[in-house]
Every structure is written in structure tokens, then in C-alpha cells.
Structure 1
């Protein structure tokens, strides 16, 4: 089983954005869809934590 995707820093967030671009350029597959979904969830969680810290 692969480990979950977790974003801890702005650098991780930037890498996740780059990976999304790479995946969007790749052929469609179930694995691609799963990875995109996992990245989206990790990015959203990071954004929410960042927003809470700013409040």
C-alpha cells in the first residue's frame, strides 16, 4: 500500500502543483485519477491549516 500524500510546507505544496501538471499531461488511467484525488485532498487540507493559522 502506498503512503498517503501529506503536504507540510509551501515547498511541498509547490511540488504537488508540479505533479498535478505532470499527471494532467499523462494518459488517463485509474491510477492517475486516484493520485490526482489524493493530491487534491492533501492540498485542500494544507490550505485549510494555513488559513486557520492566519486567522
Structure 2
């Protein structure tokens, strides 16, 4: 079973960005699309929490 993607810290966010860059070099597949979507959702949730904490 795969673990869900979660971004809790700036370090996690940087690692997610690195993974997106890695995935961009891989051939298209449903698995790639699912992982990119999960990364995007996790990164967006982190950005929203961070922005809310700063306001």
C-alpha cells in the first residue's frame, strides 16, 4: 500500500517540488498523472495553511 502524500514543512515542500521535476522527465502514464495530482493537492494545501498562518 502506498502512503498518501503529505506536505507539512518547507523541507517537505522542497522535496515535493523535486519529485515534480523528476516526474516531468518520465513518460506519461496514469500512475504519473495520479502522483502529480496528489503532489499538487498536497502542495496547495500546504500553501493555503502557510498563507493563513501568515495573515
Taking structure 2 as the reference length, what is the TM-score of the superposition? 0.96
Mapped pair 1:14 → 2:14: yes
Distance in 1 between the 2:7 and 2:28 partners?
Answer: 24
Counterparts of 1:1-55 in structure 2, within 5 Å, are 1-55=1-55
Q: Which segments of 5 or more consecutive residues in structure 1 lack a partner in the other structure?
A: none
Q: Flag as ranges the 4+ runs of structure 1 deviating above 2 A.
A: none
After superposition, the CA RMSD in angstroms is: 0.6
Distance in 1 between the 2:16 and 2:3 partners?
Answer: 15
Distance in 1 between the 2:3 and 2:26 partners?
Answer: 22
Q: Which segments of 5 or more consecutive residues in structure 2 lack a partner in the other structure?
A: none
Taking structure 1 as the reference length, what is the TM-score of the superposition? 0.96
